[in-house]
Structure 1
Amino acid sequence: MFVLFLLCIVFLVCTSKGKSWRQRKEPSTMCYKCKKYHLGICYEGMRSCTLKYHQTCAVENIYLLTRKGRLSMYFYSKLSCMTNCEDINFLSFEKRTELICCKHKNDCNLPEGV
């Protein structure tokens, strides 16, 4: 009886291919992946990535600051799948980076209106 129980456990582990029940159950979300995206064009080849555990789609919008540092102009975006992503703004002397995370639908990291 014990051997039958162990055989069932081994069978379940082998058929899951190392994925947890939650990972197998949830449908996969696809995101865009591009190192330099500007005005609807990916300059380094548009690819896609599938979200893994704890990942979300991410878009990093890069803005250049004016000399006085008051205004910023959109420069380009980076599209990716990112682990433990959080919406945040980074500010340095020459540029501002806006990080936006999403996972509500496929390809949600495509910038709109920039």
Structure 2
Amino acid sequence: MFVLLLLGVVSLFCAYYGNLQQRLKEMEIMCFKCKRYHSGACYEDMELCSLKHRQSCAIENIYLLTPKGKSMYQYSKLSCMTNCEDINFLGFEKRTELICCKRNSCNLPVRV
């Protein structure tokens, strides 16, 4: 009798665990990954990455600085990044803008 009870509990647990795994998979946040993205096209292989613990989808926009100090957009890098924070890096010849987000496909730049 105990064996039947144990078998029933194990089968219920397995069924619940399967549903739990499916729900976790559905809740997984997917981001785009591309080393060189410009004007709606990836010039390398476009891939997907799923967020792990402490990760965010990231867009790194690369701009060249003109002699007059204006920013001229060049391309973007798309990725999953650990400990991502929105920030601007300013150098002598280029500016990098880092944008982080945590929604499905949120790191795909919008064409303007």
Q: 1:96 aligns to what?
A: 95
Q: Determine the C-alpha separation between the residues in 2 that align with 1:45 and 1:28.
A: 22
**SS in structure 2 opposite 1:32?**
strand
Q: Determine the C-alpha separation between the residues in 1 that align with 2:25 and 2:34.
A: 28
Alpha carbons 2:63, 2:74 under 8 Å: kept: yes
Structure 1 unmatched ranges of 5 or more: 1-15, 17-23
Q: 2:39 aligns to what?
A: 39
Q: Determine the C-alpha separation between the residues in 2 that align with 1:60 and 1:25.
A: 27
RMSD: 1.8
Alpha carbons 2:40, 2:111 under 8 Å: kept: no
Structure with more helix by fraction: 2
Q: Determine the C-alpha separation between the residues in 2 that align with 1:63 and 1:86.
A: 18
Instruction: Please give the TM-score of this superposition, normalised by the length of structure 2.
Output: 0.75
Instruction: Please give the TM-score of this superposition, normalised by the length of structure 1.
Output: 0.74
1:46 Cα deviation after fit: 0.4
Percent identity over the alignment is: 72
**Aligned pairs, number:** 90
Runs ≥4 residues deviating over 4 A? none
Structure with larger Rg: 2
1:112 Cα deviation after fit: 1.1
Q: 2:62 aligns to what?
A: 62
